[in-house]
Amino acid sequence: MADARDTICALASGPPPAAIAIVRISGPRVREICSAVFEKGVPAPRHAVFGRFLDVSRDTIDEGLGLFMPGPSSYTGEDTAELYLHGGAAVIDHALDTLCAFPETRLAEPGEFTRRAFENGRLDLVEAEGVADLIDAETRAQKSLALDQLDGRLSDQYAAWRVDLVNALALLEVSIDFPDEEDAPDETSDPVREKLESIQASLEQALDDEAIGERIRDGFRIAIVGPPNAGKSSVLNRLARREAAIVSDIPGTTRDIVEVRLKIGGQIAWVADTAGLREASDAIEAEGVRRARERAAAADLRIQLRSADTRPDFHEAESGDLLVLNKTDLSDDVTVPEGGLAISSLSGDGFEALETRLAEIIRAKAGASAAPLITRRRHRVALEQAQFHVKQALDLQARGGGAELVAEDVRLASRQLSALIGEIGVEEILGAVFSSFCIGK
């Protein structure tokens, strides 16, 4: 981590050429820089001032709006300024070169502005992740999830659980400190148990969300599965509207997973074409079949594809799978599978209905939980760990374990939640979270 006392600057808007470029500065030297670079001096706080920006030789960099936002009520918590320039490469370079020539002033690292906001208590770690997700959001659903996270709704929930755990711990400590008080065990053990059981139930409910938050954020997974030559790769290509996978009349053509990223039902969906399922003829195909089965098992939705020119057999399908009969153009006598669809990848017949059905299914899956909470694996792992320790504490208590031992597990559970919102920081976690940001944020 570079020196946190430096003043940092970066292009905060998109790459040139663009109508406007926003260059952002944060740190102890912002006031000094503004008074030198803004022709009209340091602007009044939070008031946009139009004027020229000057370099050290008093040459004009550009003209535009300047903004000064004094700490601690700025985004980073430090003095910050923004320069609104014309969005050309030469203008931006001239501005950044000028700024970096000031002492202890340098280009920001990815996510460094938000990291400072975090270090200065303007955001917690979960909210900071919300910032990154908002910038990366491609769908409305991703955007609203990120906004909720940035608003602190998620952090509030995590923090509330932590407070409950700390309260349980306080009660436990009473029974450790006053073991001989006559009524102490009765008075304290039940409320502790009640509290822990209620936290346990909340954690369980949050974890039992079918990973909807993570799916909205990272994409739903659809796998096309079926015997060789059913037309799986042809279906993928038609859905993707490009020749993503090789199609041939040789059975066993696809061996690896071919995946395309699509927008379906307002959500991101990864659609995977897989190797045809059969007794493999060589080691490579066998590996392909293994991967196909693995992907099928992990998918949120399986499209079971069969060809109408063979005797279609949907026996391997599980409940919830979408049954699709392909190559209807080759058969005069097509029986649409129950609850499923009939299509032709060759003519495109039935594809509109297929796409509509996929959109309906994904939409229903995305809306299955009113308030998806967990959006990242990091959160899930921390909550699982917290739940593990709460359960351990409850088991210990039920077996008559000493309050010290029970308290230790409650403490470990509460530490997981503290780390989750970044109250206690592990450098690698912080590094991993902030390095995924773009420069200028």
Ligand X SMILES: Nc1nc2c(ncn2[C@@H]2O[C@H](COP(=O)(O)OP(=O)(O)OP(=O)(O)O)[C@@H](O)[C@H]2O)c(=O)[nH]1
Binding residues for ligand X (CB under 6 A):
228-234, 247-249, 251-254, 275-276, 326-327, 329-330, 344-346
Choose among Mg ion, ligand X, none what residue 228 binds, the Cβ cut-off being 5 to 8 Å by kind. Answer: ligand X
Is residue 233 a contact residue for Mg ion (CB under 5 A)?
A: yes
Choose among ligand X, Mg ion, none what residue 326 binds, the Cβ cut-off being 5 to 8 Å by kind. Answer: ligand X
Is residue 254 a contact residue for Mg ion (CB under 5 A)?
A: yes
Is the distance from CB of 389 to CB of 247 less than 8 angstroms? no
Task: Name the one range near Mg ion by CB under 5 A: 35-43, 144-152, 248-256, 343-351.
Answer: 248-256
In 226-286, DSSP assigns E strands to 258-264, 267-273
Shortest Cβ 233–Mg ion spacing (Å): 3
Task: Name the one range near Mg ion by CB under 5 A: 32-40, 250-258, 309-317, 390-398.
Answer: 250-258
Q: How far apart, in whole angstroms, are the C-alpha atoms of residue 229 and residue 430?
A: 48
Choose among Mg ion, ligand X, none what residue 248 binds, the Cβ cut-off being 5 to 8 Å by kind. Answer: ligand X
What's the sign of the alpha-carbon dihedral 83, 85, 87, 92?
negative
351-366 vs 232-240: helix axis angle to the nearest 10? Answer: 80
Choose among Mg ion, ligand X, none what residue 260 binds, the Cβ cut-off being 5 to 8 Å by kind. Answer: none
Shortest Cβ 270–ligand X spacing (Å): 17
Cis peptide before 72 (omega within 30 of 0): yes
Shortest Cβ 273–Mg ion spacing (Å): 6
- 67 secondary structure, DSSP code: E
CA dihedral 378, 383, 389, 393 (to 10 degrees): 170
Task: Name the one range near Mg ion by CB under 5 A: 13-21, 30-38, 191-199, 225-233.
Answer: 225-233
Shortest Cβ 360–ligand X spacing (Å): 23
Q: In b/e form, how buried is each residue of 335-374, taking b as 16+ CB within 10 angstroms? A: eebeebbbbbbeeeebbeebeebbbebbeebbeebeebbb
User: How distant, in Å, are the alpha carbons of 115, 134, 218, 367 from that of 375?
Assistant: 20, 12, 9, 14
User: Is the Cβ of residue 155 or residue 307 nearer to ligand X in the bound state?
Assistant: 307
Choose among ligand X, Mg ion, none what residue 327 binds, the Cβ cut-off being 5 to 8 Å by kind. Answer: ligand X
Shortest Cβ 241–ligand X spacing (Å): 15
**Residues lying near Mg ion in the complex (CB under 5 A):** 232-233, 253-254
